[in-house]
């Protein structure tokens, strides 16, 4: 089965970050996802879409949309936060499982540590010690085990600029410690490039460990400008470091070909991270991104 293409509320500027308020009612976002050619979606921040399955199901069914996953941020570097994070993942996961979704996209509590936000895209190496990595991975494995055993959901970890798992080295530190069978990688092509990596090389290095895709592009010129100006994560996003698909440095044709060689037959989620005032811009970008992927046969 060919890779299927989905969207996410984040492409309309609907974020988990506490200080960014949604600009759209959820019905408009769902309508525009369908109108621009997508058949699946991620949940978005908890509470943006209805969390009662009896209310959410008819909203999705009448639009022909399949719920696929949800991004779940947890303060994994802090062992005392693991229990609360696990409880939240199980709460979200219960809704996902009821709705027929298959994945939880686990992540660090990105965007909450000022130093990491300020240095997004500008770091190399790792910010954590070996002991801190052990704590971090213990939380990931704990949550992945509960989610799998109780709900049957798969866990993929999302590296992300502005967090402790940003650089390729940091992703490796986590994946080396995370349970291979329980925890896959959600490759976000744009974040991998923004952090100084090569998303195609990531697929070639990790192979079947790449078990979920977020398709995002990264403009290399804007990235360099953001580095030169020492812009933080949110300012870089406003500066459009994440450009529309096909306009940046991500080699999408080669990545898709590599994933197909690996036998990947799941979904790819288009994420056009935007922080704009033009309320019509997200739909327009969504359409152009879908058209680009169609040109690649998806």
For every residue of 87-155, which 3-state class applies, written as one string?
HHHHHHHHHHHHCCCCEEEEEECCCCCHHHHHCCCCCCCCCCCHHHHHHHHHHHHHHHHHHHHHHCCEE
State residue 17's pLDDT score.
Answer: 63
State residue 19's pLDDT score.
Answer: 67
| Residue 21 in this model has a pLDDT that exceeds 80 | no
Q: How confident is the model at residue 20 (pLDDT cuts 50, 70, 90)?
A: low
Q: 266 in helix, strand or coil?
A: coil
pLDDT digits (tens, 9 = 90+) for 119-149: 999 999 999 999 999 999 999 999 999 999 9
Burial of residue 256 (number of CB atoms within 10 Å: 0-12, 13-18, 19+): buried
Residue corresponding to tokens 């996003």: 237
| Residue 206 in this model has a pLDDT that exceeds 80 | yes
pLDDT digits (tens, 9 = 90+) for 150-178: 999 999 999 999 999 999 999 999 999 99
State residue 18's pLDDT score.
Answer: 65
Which CATH superfamily does the domain covering 4-295 fall into?
Answer: Divalent-metal-dependent TIM barrel enzymes (3.20.20.150)
Angle between helices 199-206 and 168-177 (to 10 degrees): 20
State residue 121's pLDDT score.
Answer: 96
Distance CA 160, CA 137 (A): 16
pTM of this prediction? 0.96
Q: How confident is the model at residue 274 (pLDDT cuts 50, 70, 90)?
A: confident
Q: 9 in helix, strand or coil?
A: helix
For every residue of 197-229, which 3-state class applies, written as one string?
CCHHHHHHHHHHHEEEEEECCCCHHHHHHHHHC
């Amino acid at each position: 089965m060919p890779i299927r293409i989905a969207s996410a509320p984040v492409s309309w500027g609907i974020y988990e970050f506490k200080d960014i308020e949604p600009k759209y009612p959820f019905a408009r976002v769902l309508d525009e996802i369908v109108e621009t050619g997508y058949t699946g979606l991620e949940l978005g921040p908890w509470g943006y879409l209805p969390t009662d399955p009896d209310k959410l199901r008819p909203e999705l069914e009448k639009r022909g949309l399949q719920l696929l996953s949800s991004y779940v941020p947890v303060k994994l570097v802090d062992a005392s936060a693991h229990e609360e994070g696990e409880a939240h993942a199980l709460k979200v996961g219960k809704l996902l499982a009821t709705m027929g979704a298959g994945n939880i996209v686990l992540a660090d509590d990105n965007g909450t540590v000022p130093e990491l936000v300020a240095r997004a895209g500008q770091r190399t190496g790792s910010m954590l010690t070996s002991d801190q990595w052990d704590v971090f991975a213990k939380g990931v494995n704990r949550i992945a085990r509960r989610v799998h055993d109780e709900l049957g959901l798969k866990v993929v970890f999302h590296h992300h600029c502005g967090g402790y798992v940003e650089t390729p080295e940091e992703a490796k530190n986590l994946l080396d410690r995370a349970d291979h069978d329980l925890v896959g990688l959600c490759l976000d092509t744009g974040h991998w490039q923004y952090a100084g990596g090569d998303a195609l090389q990531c697929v070639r290095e990790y192979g079947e460990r790449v078990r979920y895709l977020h398709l995002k592009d990264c403009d290399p010129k804007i990235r360099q400008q953001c580095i030169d100006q020492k812009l933080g994560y949110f300012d870089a996003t406003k500066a459009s470091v994440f450009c529309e698909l096909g306009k940046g440095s991500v080699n999408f044709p080669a990545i898709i070909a590599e994933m197909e060689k690996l036998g990947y037959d799941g979904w790819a989620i288009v994420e056009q991270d935007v922080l704009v005032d033009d309320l019509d811009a997200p739909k327009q970008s969504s359409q152009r991104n879908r058209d680009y992927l169609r040109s690649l046969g998806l």
